[in-house]
Amino acid sequence: MAPEPETDLNQELEPLRQPSVWHYIAVLPTWIAAAVLFVLMFMTFADVILRSALDNPIEYASELTRIFLAIIVFASLPLVSWKGGHIVVDLMDPLFSRRMGQLRDIVIDLVCGVILFWPAKRVLDLAERARDFGDVTEYMGFPQFIIGWFIAAFTALTAVVFVLRGLARIFYPDKVRG
């Protein structure tokens, strides 16, 4: 009896393969955003209960909400950008051939990546200014530059992701979704 081809064995073992370290690095910010979202939900629930039942709201809730929302949005941006999960309006798609549509998507990804470096640099400048002035949040006294650094870092990472996505569309077009 002839042995079965190796491809069948590879197909059987595929679900058992452990993700690479790059997979964990890629999804870590999303897990951080999910954890922060859970904390935000719990804090909002506790704030409503404390406000309604005991007339004693959480003093820092508004500041924490702003900080948590910044973490959720900017931590999610790189992976959403890589997967092409942005909202897309495709009103002009019928006007483009398949090849021209691919070229348009390459240009959009590369231009978005290059342009995003400017806001990343600008937010970093503003964060450094806040650090120099010693700016802190109103109630908690949390240094504002830390959140600025976080936003700048993840905006820059998103810019890199867009550039890599544009290059992947050029060199590996069948591997890029969206």
Q: Are 61 and 43 in contact (CB under 8 A)?
A: yes
Number of domains comprising the chain: 1
Q: Judge whether residue 6 has pLDDT over 70.
A: no
Tell me, yes or no, if the pTM score tops 0.85: no
Residue 4: inside a domain, yes or no?
no
Residue 124: inside a domain, yes or no?
yes
> Residue 113's CB: how many other CB atoms inside 10 A?
20
Mean pLDDT over 158-167 rounds to 95
Residue 2: inside a domain, yes or no?
no
**How much is the pLDDT for 173?**
85
Q: Judge whether residue 128 has pLDDT over 60.
A: yes
Residue 103: inside a domain, yes or no?
yes
> Residue 116's CB: how many other CB atoms inside 10 A?
21
Mean pLDDT over 151-170 rounds to 95
Residue 8: inside a domain, yes or no?
no
Q: Which domain holds residue 37?
A: 20-175
> Residue 171's CB: how many other CB atoms inside 10 A?
8
Listed residue (123, 150, 112, 115) closest to 32, CA to CA: 150
Residue 50: inside a domain, yes or no?
yes
Residue 14: inside a domain, yes or no?
no
Q: Are 107 and 142 in contact (CB under 8 A)?
A: no
**How much is the pLDDT for 16?**
64
Residue 13: inside a domain, yes or no?
no
> What does residue 84 show for φ and ψ, rounded to 5 degrees?
70, 35
Q: Judge whether residue 4 has pLDDT over 60.
A: no
